[in-house]
Amino acid sequence: MVSRDIKENGKEVRSINKNIRSSVRKLNPILKSIVGKKVELAIRNLSFSEKRVTKDIKKTISSAIANAENNFQYDIDKLIIKEAFCGKQVVMKRFRPRAKGRAAPILKPYSNLTIILSEAKKKEEKHGSKS
C-alpha cells in the first residue's frame, strides 16, 4: 500500500493499493457505490458486503483515514470519499490440463486501487426569515 501527497488547495488525501487480487470488472461496482459517502458509512457498508474484495478496499480506506488524521490533522468525522477508482495491473497466467493433451489458459488479474478523501464542506444556511 502506498500513500501519496496532498493537494493543498483542494485538501485531498490519497491512498493507493497496488496489488489487489481481483479484476477491475469486479471492483468497479463496489467503488461506485461508496463514492460521495462519509467514510464511516462507506466502511460500514463494506463490512456487510459479501464480496471477498471488500476487505482490501476497507484496508485502503483505513490507510487514507490514518494519513489524513496523522499527517494532516483532519477531522475524521468530516471526511468523505471524493473519488475511488481502479486500474489494471499484471495478469498471472496459469494453465489447466484438458483432454487429448491440450491446455486451457486461466487468467488471474491484479488491480490498482486509488482512494481520494476530502473534507466535507459546511453547507451555508440562507439567512432569510419568515415574518
- Chain CA centroid to CA 112, Å: 10
Q: Count of domains in the chain?
A: 1
Domain ranges, residue 89? 2-119
On whether residue 126 sits in a domain, the answer given is no
Q: What is the CATH number of the domain that holds 98?
A: 3.90.470.10
- The pTM for the full model equals 0.80
Compute and round to an integer the Cα radius of gyration of the chain: 20
Q: Which three cell numbers stand for residue 45?
A: 457498508
pLDDT 10s digit of each residue in the chain, 131 long?
554 554 545 578 899 999 999 999 999 999 999 999 999 999 999 999 999 999 999 999 999 999 888 888 888 888 999 999 999 999 999 999 999 999 999 999 999 999 999 987 766 545 555 55
Distance CA 119, CA 43 (A): 16
On whether residue 24 sits in a domain, the answer given is yes
